[in-house]
A and B are shown apart, each in its own frame.
Chain A
Amino acid sequence: SQQGEEDPQALSIQEGENATMNCSYKTSINNLQWYRQNSGRGLVHLILIRSNEREKHSGRLRVTLDTSKKSSSLLITASRAADTASYFCATDSSSGGSYIPTFGRGTSLIVHP
């Protein structure tokens, strides 16, 4: 089963516009991460936000976390064609002292030049 669920499933925008993706999860978390995946390749870690944080920035990325609503959002500002990829949120599942990232189904982002 997948802990996080991203919304929308697919997003198509023009270059220069902002892209917002949302993630909802079911159980309490320690951390939430966002990953990027280009065309069925490996996952690249983008940003991590801890459960006691509400907002975090990294370059053109802005992540928010609302633990009361069990949701997070990823904002990509001034999008570029190179941002075209699938984006996944991952919550940590702790068992036996080991943290295992649990992924949602992802949002497919297409940025048109």
Chain B
Amino acid sequence: DAGVTQSPTHLIKTRGQQVTLRCSPKSGHDTVSWYQQALGQGPQFIFQYYEEEERQRGNFPDRFSGHQFPNYSSELNVNALLLGDSALYLCASSLVSGNSYGYTFGSGTRLTVV
């Protein structure tokens, strides 16, 4: 039973560029949440997707957008990259009917903006 899969594992982009990160949820899960974790910090909630719509959003600018596909996989897009966007981006999947302890996290995508 595959867990949460994220791609790519590492990425280097130039300031001002755009990036797309991908996430495949755990089998049986229908909800995907994205977190940003800066070095030495805890994960910060970006947004959550369910039924192909953004269900909740954290305190992140509109440069951060996402998408969920009919197969429940998800993408995180970041436009106009800033140096401060360098971080580990974590995807977590869950069941919409579940509580927060039903979250399964992927290994993350390490984004470096130069």
Interface residues of A, Cβ cutoff 8 Å to B: 1-2, 4, 30-31, 33, 40-45, 48, 88, 90, 92, 95-96, 98-106
Contact = CB atoms under 8 A, between A and B. Distances in A.
A101 B100 contact: yes
A42 B99 contact: no
Given A44-B105, A96-B55, A100-B56, A33 B100 contact: yes
Max count, chain A CB within 10 A of own CB: residue among B41, B55, B105, B106? B105
Contacts of B35: 103
Given A33-B101, A45-B103, A88-B42, 17 more contacts: A1-B59, A2-B44, A4-B42, A31-B100, A40-B37, A40-B110, A41-B107, A42-B4, A42-B105, A42-B106, A43-B43, A43-B92, A98-B31, A99-B100, A100-B45, A100-B56, A105-B41
A98 B55 contact: yes
B40 interface: yes
B48 interface: yes
A103 B43 contact: yes
B90 interface: yes
B41 to A, nearest CB: 6
B11 interface: no
B96 interface: yes
Interface in B26-43: 31, 33, 35, 37, 40-43
Given A95-B56, A96-B55, A41 B108 contact: yes
A105 B42 contact: yes
Contacts of B42: 2, 4, 88, 103-106
B69 to A, nearest CB: 20
B1 to A, nearest CB: 16
B99 A92 contact: yes
A96 B43 CA distance: 21
